[in-house]
Structure 1
């Protein structure tokens, strides 16, 4: 390991340079990184990279899921909960089932249990790839919200299917009532563990005399504790991280200081940046090991099987997207749905084409043991499953990843009124915050307002009449008054975000909350 350290260090530098190139040529960086990993793997005397699945499940997966839970909008997640739940659970199960029957029918030596194992591995789309691609094109907010929400939950459902299929292959039997009980515990136990540990961390942040550095370290530790604790109780570590992350994210302003929030954002953005980069370049670098283990079937036949499974995945997802529209149009007659209007045929087609596979699929495939038991026979079709998984990841990333931006640009996406137009929302927020500010100062700090030039200029600023920078030689009393005002502004923004009658995009609310945090940090640094 130590002798290969310069190689891994050069990989990190290569990742940074490749992502710069990807942004420059407007190509999703996962596509470029996988291709680069493939090319590097063919260079003579390059160290063979062997990916330990535990490394991905334990080191990579918890922080990536946790960061996604922190950045997603809970309001959007709840609004589109039905379609997100259907794609994350029902569609994943449907996909795994269809893959199982296709593999059993067309691939020699594949039983239904092995087919379900393969289906559980390749069924979850990778959100990082879709997010990186959608960054370069404009799509309706509802689509990005659905993709983000689906990605938070589909890993859990696919890994549950994978776990049950592994038991069926190893034992040769599948007991339904035990599977139902185990499935229920994985869901309830995973969510419960995440919420409990998240609540304990929240209390710890409040009670302990931590500073910004300590708070940031605690946020880095939290997802690992949630994941490991859930896995130790045989529940879903993925759901534990997601539920705990969502809890802490939605209460971040109640237990984290301004400095902790600002510093944590910078640390987490850098961490997730390098973790995602490493994962995708390692996928490409792992090709030689996967090919070397392929025995009993020609490479060309294995490629054909991989392309067949890829075609099944694409077709099933597109059909599921249109099926969701059909079911919604029926369900609107009986229950309240997020949007009862016909969504048209463009959005489901695009949603169906966003099924790139990635890190979770590869990690699950690699975690298949070499032998069924300690001294037992070899695990059937392990190498072929690995190769098919690699072909699925590579094909979906290259074909769908490269064509999706072109398709979106060619298709005139419909304009929805889910949220106020950004310019109108910005103006409304500014106007309401200005009114709140002037009224708050007048009611609570009238005497100080008459004495303090600083507060007078802040008052004028929010009236749109600021003429010069305020004098920042502030007394503790004046500083406290301004901090109280910023706190009231923050509370108002959070109230507006929780008010479902207001159609503010949560990303816009978070942008204004960030501005308040920055202003508060600036004032706290003034002596």
Structure 2
């Protein structure tokens, strides 16, 4: 490990440089990282990067899922719950079935259990790749909300399938009623454990005398605690992290100070940036070891590549059909229930169906397949073939769909759906409401101070047009205290407004909450 330490440092620097290049040429960075890893793997003398299969989930998945849940909007998730739920659960399950049937029919020696295992590995699309691509092109808010929400939940559903398939392969048995009870516990137990663990950390950080550094450390520990506790109880660790992350994200203003939120955001961005970069470059670096394993199984490189391309075609075709099917189901359902999309159009499924790039979760699941079955000396059947097929799926979907998706988005020209109020109108509404709330607070609670303080009178004059910055003001301790109360009133107003107004884009609300946190930080420096 220490002998290769300089190589790992160079690798991290290379990841940073490649992501800078990707941003410059406007290409999704997962594509460049995978191709770079593939190129590096053919350089003679390059160290083999190995990670214990039992540790791959616990190292990478909890923080990546937690950060994704923290960044997601519960309001948007709930608004698009039907389409998100159908893609995250129904489509993932149907995809796993399709992969299992095709693998069983065309891959010699591949049982249905192994097919389901492969299906569980490759069924979830990768959120990181999609968000990296969407950063360079403008898409309607509803599309990004659906994709982000789907990515949160499809990992959990696919990994549940993966776990049951692993048990079936190891034991050779599948008792449906036992599986149904286990599935119910995995889902419900995972959600409950995640929320309870999140509640514990919320109370701990709220009542204990923590500072910014302690809050950040606890935030890094939280997803691992959720995952480990749930897995120890044989529930879904992924669902625990997702549900707990959403719970804490919703209550973030109750237990974290503005300083902890601001600095924690920077730390988490760096951690997730590094983890994603490492995972995607590992995909390319792992190819030589996978191909050598194929030779040991007596499977030719061309034959295995053909299987990988076949499974990739099944995944792409299945998602496109599912996207069109969602429109048909929505048109039928809207006659009986209220649906979020009251006017589904034919262009949206093209984009939704083509955002099926595979990545981090698929790689982590494939690498976690054990070399031996249980504690025996029996090799896990077709492990190297499963790894290679997963590699082909990730590579082809990233390169093919990842490079063509921006072109497709520009060609399709999706309508600008009026799901939210226009940004200018929303910002004006927020500024006006914040000004009225601040003026009402001052006139009700501090009328005497308003008469005596020139600075407070100056504040009242500027509140009607913008959120004030205290950068140029020399505030006394008394005025600072009043100003802090004003900022807290504004924060609570924004949170109430976001919860009560469905058409307000939460992203804009979070921008203003971020400004309030910054305002509090600047005031501390005075």
| 1:308 lines up with 2:306 in the alignment | no
Distance 1:466 1:270, change over 3 A: closer
Please give the residue correspondences for 1:155-234 in structure 2 after superposition, counting only pairs within 5 Å: 155-234=155-234
Q: Distance in 2 between matches of 1:468 and 1:216?
A: 27
Structure-1 residue corresponding to 2:386: 385
Structure-2 residue corresponding to 1:57: 57
Distance 1:467 1:166, change over 3 A: closer
SS at match of 1:293: helix
Tell me which moved more, 356-365 or 236-245.
Answer: 356-365
Q: Distance in 1 between matches of 2:430 and 2:224?
A: 38
| 1:331 lines up with 2:333 in the alignment | yes
Q: Distance in 1 between matches of 2:83 and 2:464?
A: 44
Alpha carbons 1:460, 1:466 under 8 Å: kept: no
1:374 to partner: Cα distance:
3.0
Distance 1:465 1:164, change over 3 A: closer
Count of aligned residue pairs for this structure pair: 524
Please give the residue correspondences for 1:51-450 in structure 2 after superposition, counting only pairs within 5 Å: 51-294=51-294, 295-341=297-343, 343-450=344-451
1:49 to partner: Cα distance:
1.5
Structure-2 residue corresponding to 1:11: 11
Structure-2 residue corresponding to 1:25: 25
Distance 1:469 1:486, change over 3 A: closer
Alpha carbons 1:457, 1:470 under 8 Å: kept: no
1:465 to partner: Cα distance:
9.8
Deviations 1:331-380 (Å, cap 9, x if unpaired)? 11111211221x21111111010011112112211222222243343222
Alpha carbons 1:371, 1:377 under 8 Å: kept: yes
Alpha carbons 1:454, 1:471 under 8 Å: kept: no
Alpha carbons 2:140, 2:414 under 8 Å: kept: yes
Alpha carbons 2:231, 2:237 under 8 Å: kept: yes
Q: Distance in 2 between matches of 1:10 and 1:149?
A: 35
1:469 to partner: Cα distance:
7.3
SS at match of 1:136: coil
Alpha carbons 1:51, 1:286 under 8 Å: kept: no
Deviations 1:283-326 (Å, cap 9, x if unpaired)? 11111111110032110111011000000000111111111111
Distance 1:172 1:485, change over 3 A: same
Alpha carbons 1:50, 1:289 under 8 Å: kept: no
TM-score between both structures, scaled by the size of structure 1: 0.97
Alpha carbons 1:453, 1:470 under 8 Å: kept: no
Distance 1:15 1:498, change over 3 A: same
1:466 to partner: Cα distance:
11
Q: Which runs of 5+ in 1 are unaligned?
A: none
Q: Distance in 1 between matches of 2:104 and 2:468?
A: 75
Alpha carbons 2:121, 2:362 under 8 Å: kept: yes
Distance 1:468 1:11, change over 3 A: closer
Q: Distance in 1 between matches of 2:167 and 2:467?
A: 69
1:51 to partner: Cα distance:
3.2
1:470 to partner: Cα distance:
7.8
Deviations 1:123-151 (Å, cap 9, x if unpaired)? 01111011101111111111111111111
Q: Distance in 1 between matches of 2:457 and 2:24?
A: 46
Alpha carbons 2:38, 2:287 under 8 Å: kept: yes
1:472 to partner: Cα distance:
3.6
Distance 1:390 1:317, change over 3 A: same
TM-score between both structures, scaled by the size of structure 2: 0.97
| 1:47 lines up with 2:56 in the alignment | no
1:467 to partner: Cα distance:
12
Q: Which runs of 5+ in 2 are unaligned?
A: none
Deviations 1:209-266 (Å, cap 9, x if unpaired)? 0111111111110000000000111110000001111111101111111111111111
Structure-2 residue corresponding to 1:453: 454
1:194 to partner: Cα distance:
0.4
Query: Which consecutive segments of 4 or more residues in structure 1 shift more than 6 A?
Result: 465-471
Structure-1 residue corresponding to 2:480: 479
Distance 1:366 1:464, change over 3 A: closer
